[in-house]
Amino acid sequence: MATFLDLSILRFLTPLFTFLFILIISYAVLDKFKLLGDHFAPKAIASFSIAMIFIFSTRMLAIVNTATPWFILMILFGFFIAAMLMFLGVKESAIEKTVGGGTVVWVVLIVSLILFIIIIVQAFQDVESPYGDEQPEKTRTTESLSALVHPRLLGALFLLIVSTFAVMFISQGFIKPS
């Protein structure tokens, strides 16, 4: 039965939307940085070629289709934080000064990089290893390495780094009085 809330047709249009998204983004990057000059045709051909390469690679489609909603969510989250701060009385110039200071840029860059790495690992996780199912012999080096990259240790290090930065930012203050 057809309903207004049945959006399953969008599943068939996802490759078209992805193609248009990659075409527009690649053309915008080529136009912004003038990589192929000021003429329209070379930039259009290059961006069309890039979009076609992405469309023919199912793993790249999976990466783009998974990453796009997360990055849009991060952008909306940033807008909502800025709107909330302005609603609470923080001046727009103070927000611009804080965001332009570099700390926020680095945090967003690191979070984006971590998110991108997670998405790439998720897209390529079912790729077979060229080494087969051979179990390497356990040596002191391999056991030490597996202990260093254990998820519990990495999680503890991540929490330690986050708490260190939190203490540093709280003690220094985010916005210094002008």
Give me the phi and psi of 5, to 5 degrees please. Answer: -90, 0
Q: What is the pLDDT of residue 115?
A: 92
Q: What is the DSSP letter of 149?
A: T
Give the end-to-end CA distance of the chain in Å, rounded to a whole number: 63
What is the three-class DSSP state of 170? Answer: helix
CA distances (Å), 157 to each of 105, 117, 133, in order? Answer: 22, 18, 31
Q: What is the mean pLDDT of each run of 10 residues along the chain (178 residues)?
A: 72 90 95 91 95 92 92 94 91 88 86 91 76 71 80 89 86 64
| Residue 79: HSE in the Cβ half-sphere, 13 Å Cα cutoff | 6
CA–centroid distance for 11 within its chain: 23
Give the model confidence (pLDDT) of 125-156 as tens digits. 776 666 666 666 788 777 887 888 888 888 88
Query: What's the whole-model pTM score?
Result: 0.64
Q: What is the pLDDT of residue 129?
A: 62
Contact 105, 99 (CB under 8 A): yes
Q: What is the pLDDT of residue 104?
A: 86
